[in-house]
């Protein structure tokens, strides 16, 4: 089973793709939107990644989910399962290939800081960035069960790095 898309070398177009998508999705959040961040591997210059733009929308609260889901559907997004209380998830595929993911978290949610700290660490520390890239490429090469397996096998590395930051 394949991943949602194939890992590729860093593409200088990814920041522009984030900015364009940020503008598209922001319209659907109205006054509940606080900010939108570029997160995930495409937000880290020099890091190979699945070419899926990850956006983190921070909101005051989840107000009208029905209207938001309908708006996101007009942009080609499908609402996925909530990743945790207060952490909603949307994905967009084009011709069977994942292109974008949107995490919507209530202000103060623990995942906001975690995603931003991990992104910033990868931007700043070339050694950890290289280790993470090597791991991702190894996991892709040996993957048999799809994205769930890939994410589960990346998690111990991310947890160890994040635990090291909090000590």
Is residue 40 included in any domain, yes or no? Answer: yes
What is the phi-psi region of residue 95: left when phi exceeds 0, alpha when psi lies from -120 to 50, beta otherwise? left
Is residue 1 included in any domain, yes or no? Answer: no
Is residue 9 included in any domain, yes or no? Answer: no
CATH number, domain at 126? Answer: 3.30.460.10
Is residue 46 included in any domain, yes or no? Answer: yes
Is pLDDT above 60 for 167? no
Total structural domains within the chain: 1
Give the closest residue to 52 by CA, choosing from 93, 1, 104, 96: 93
Give the closest residue to 43 by CA, choosing from 131, 96, 149, 117: 117
User: Containing domain of residue 61, as a range?
Assistant: 14-165
Distance between CA atoms of residues 120 and 101, nearest Å:
19
Max Cα–Cα distance, the chain, nearest Å: 44
For 109-162, how does the pLDDT look when each residue is reduced to its tens digit (9 = 90+)? 999 999 999 999 999 999 999 999 999 998 888 888 877 788 888 988 998 988
Is residue 128 included in any domain, yes or no? Answer: yes
Q: What is the pLDDT of residue 96?
A: 85
For 6-55, how does the pLDDT look when each residue is reduced to its tens digit (9 = 90+)? 899 999 999 999 999 999 999 999 899 999 999 999 999 999 999 999 99
Q: What is the pLDDT of residue 105?
A: 97
Q: What is the pLDDT of residue 122?
A: 96
């Amino acid at each position: 089973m394949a991943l949602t898309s194939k890992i590729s070398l860093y593409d200088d177009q990814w920041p522009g793709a984030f900015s364009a998508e940020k503008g598209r999705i922001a319209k659907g959040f109205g006054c509940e939107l606080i900010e939108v961040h570029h997160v995930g591997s495409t937000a880290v210059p020099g890091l190979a990644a699945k070419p899926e733009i990850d956006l983190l929308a921070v909101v005051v609260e989840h107000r009208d989910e029905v209207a938001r889901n309908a708006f996101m559907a007009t942009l080609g997004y499908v609402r996925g399962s909530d990743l945790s209380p207060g952490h909603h998830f949307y994905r967009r595929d084009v011709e069977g290939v994942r292109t974008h993911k949107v995490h919507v978290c209530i202000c103060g949610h623990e995942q906001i800081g975690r995603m931003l700290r991990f992104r910033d660490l990868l931007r700043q520390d070339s050694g950890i960035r290289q280790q993470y890239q090597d791991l991702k490429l190894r996991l892709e090469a040996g993957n048999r069960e799809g994205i769930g397996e890939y994410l589960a096998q990346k998690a111990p590395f991310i947890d160890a790095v994040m635990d090291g930051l909090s000590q």
